[in-house]
Amino acid sequence: MPTEARRGAWRGAWSRALSLVLCVPLSVVLLVQPTLLLDGQGGYSHGSLMLVLWGVSIGYVHGMGFDPLAWAWRLAFQPILGWCLMVLGYALLLPH
């Protein structure tokens, strides 16, 4: 079986571009205007923020082309997981 087929379809150029397209604007918003993530009472949901930042990290790791070799790191940096967490970040920004 070819190496590309074993690595999965999410390791192609389109998926790396998608990771960058999702993570760059979200990280810019988090850096420039973090108050957009405040809840109705003026506080942060630290659990949600941690998950969103993990998704952004996965987006940068995958988008820049890094493929972890150890299975534990592969599980922690799955692109599909990162996409879901970044969509959560965009969903948290929607009310604003």
pLDDT of residue 1: 43
- Crossing angle (nearest 10°) for helices 79-93 and 46-63: 130
Q: Determine the Cα–Cα distance for residues 84 and 56; give it in Å rounded to an integer.
A: 10
- Helix then strand count (H, E) for the chain reads 5, 0
Mean pLDDT, residues 79-86 taken together? 96
**Within 13 Å, how many C-alpha atoms sit on residue 49's CB side?**
13
Mean pLDDT, residues 23-32 taken together? 94
Q: What is the pLDDT of residues 30-70, one digit of tens each?
A: 999 888 877 777 778 888 899 999 999 999 999 999 989 99
Q: pTM for the whole thing? A: 0.84
- Is the pLDDT score of 3 beyond 60? no
- Residue 10, number of CB atoms within 10 A of its CB: 16
